[in-house]
Amino acid sequence: MKKTWLLTLFFLLTTKATADIVSIDLTVPELNVDPYHKPYVAVWIESPNRNGLETVAVWYEKDDWLKDLRQWWRKIGRNRTSAYDAVTGATRKPGNYIIRWDSKNKPAIAAGDYWLCFEAAREAGGRDFIRQKIELGHSEAQTFLINGDIELGQIKISIQP
Amino acid sequence: MKRTFKILGLSFIFLTQSAPLFAHGRYILPSHTQLSGEDLKQVTLVASISNDVFHPDKPLGNNGGGEVNSFLSNIFKTLKASVTLPNGTVNNTIEWQAFARQSSTDITIDKPGTYRVSLVQQPTRLVTFKKPDGTPSRFFGNQQTPPPGATNVVHHTTASRTETFITHNTPNRSALISVGSGLELVGETHPNDLFVGETAHFQLILDGKPLKDPTAVHITRDGTLHRNQRNTLERQADALGNFSVIFIKAGMYLLEVEHTRKGAKNSGIDFHHNTLYVTLEVFPE
């Protein structure tokens, strides 16, 4: 009994809460196609062994097509492993968008490595999925620059502890 | 200055309103495109309105046996189902039964030669407009009077031809002859004689005449649902509607063409839209 309590205390002391501000500058690219529909986009956080943890953003119109964000749907959407209602929004036209996410008050997010995942799917179009390894609860700022294939453009990630 | 504004406004309307209005694809997918032997044969076909190539979304065609909503039911009223037999005669008694996600039918193949299976949507009136609150809306069919205060009112006709071809023993060309209405695919290459690595030559026909406006032809292989990019081949038809394509992979393909022309002056129609969807099977070398 005492041992369990000590273990819990040890766990609490070593599991450092994080308070990182993750800023994502995401480009919805201009595509010269006809018909053009604005893409459904999901941004979320996975554990190193690829469990869906937190949804950062979901842009969509009709929930009938949420399944087409295949990875996000499988990892988080269909299980509701994290409530994402607060981070949903309408689909965006081509352009640059800033998404800010704060890891504070996210009990599932202890200091450590994570995957930041991006997925886009467009009606009568294609689909893109890319991910970037990030470290949360790290003492230094990090920046990453990644590129989608077709449906997602350049993505700048900056993490401020 | 004012005039420039007006011209810009008009071209904006043209650009936005000449865009395809029925962007959803359509197809007929036959179980077999080639048959041999002397016995009577049967082929089962499915048809759907869907964005994914050969993955069904909504039915296309109904003989009254299936349950469809009123929007689809209105579209199906303008749809003519037919099979053109190898001797060129047209059988209009083919019946498509609607199911929740696709329509289906069987056809009996009892003659040698090439059959053409068609679902043709006759030119149908359509009016698009903006409601007084600015939201875009449209009326399909007979209802042609936009609500009071509507702006950007544009009158259209839309027509489409969805087809595929089936050959029993030796191919022939009687069923391939243009019927003279809407967009059609003809040309030197027989649509049931497509093999990887060979150049196929086709021609687009509009209302029985070679399509003169340079027009894009889109050709997409089966299975878009299971790949991230559609990998659509685009070909540009020349001023006589001719284009050629070399298929590099065997499979079922959907060929799509969209064409818009301006309506005649004082006809009350601003644009006529025609679309063509042809399912083609390509065999390995």
For residues A45 and A118, give the distance between their C-alpha atoms in angstroms, rounded to a whole number: 9
Residue A71 near residue A129, CB atoms below 8 Å: yes
Strand B233-236 vs strand A88-89: parallel, antiparallel, or unpaired? unpaired
Q: What average pLDDT does this structure show over A91-96?
A: 97
Q: Is A123 on the interface with B (CB under 8 A)?
A: yes
pLDDT, position B85: 98
For the stretch B99-109, pLDDT in tens is 999 999 999 99
Q: Is A150 on the interface with B (CB under 8 A)?
A: yes
For residues B191 and B252, give the distance between their C-alpha atoms in angstroms, rounded to a whole number: 12
Contact A129 B20 (CB under 8 A): no
Q: Domains along chain A?
A: 16-160 (2.60.40)
Per-residue confidence band for B1, with pLDDT thresholds at 50, 70 and 90: very low
pLDDT, position B16: 38
| Position A74 pLDDT exceeds 60 | yes
Choose from B21, B52, B228, B232 for mutation: most chain A CBs within 10 A. Answer: B228
For the stretch B239-263, pLDDT in tens is 999 999 999 999 999 999 999 999 9
Q: Which residues of B touch A126 (CB under 8 A)?
A: 228-230
For the stretch B110-166, pLDDT in tens is 999 999 999 999 999 999 999 998 888 888 877 778 888 899 999 999 999 999 999
Q: Which of B19, B51, B228 sits opposite A123 (nearest CB)?
A: B51
Q: What average pLDDT does this structure show over A93-109?
A: 92
pLDDT, position A105: 83
Q: What's the predicted TM-score (pTM) here?
A: 0.83
| Position A43 pLDDT exceeds 90 | yes
Give the rounded percent of residues in chain A with a pLDDT score beyond 90. Answer: 72
Q: Which residues of B touch A (CB under 8 A)?
A: 19-20, 23-25, 51, 228-230
Q: Is A38 on the interface with B (CB under 8 A)?
A: no
Q: Read out DSSP for B103-114?
A: EEEEEEE-SSEE
**Nearest CA distance, A128 vs chain B (angstrom):** 7
Contact B229 A34 (CB under 8 A): no
**Nearest CA distance, A120 vs chain B (angstrom):** 10
pLDDT, position B216: 95
Q: Which residues of A touch B19 (CB under 8 A)?
A: 34-35
pLDDT, position A82: 63
C-alpha B148 chain-centroid distance: 34
Q: Which residues contact A150 (CB under 8 A, 6 or more apart)?
A: A29, A31, A126, A128, B229
Q: What is the mean pLDDT of chain A?
A: 89
| Position B206 pLDDT exceeds 70 | yes
For the stretch B71-100, pLDDT in tens is 899 889 999 999 999 999 999 999 999 999
For the stretch B18-72, pLDDT in tens is 334 445 899 999 999 999 988 899 999 999 999 999 999 999 999 988 989 988 9
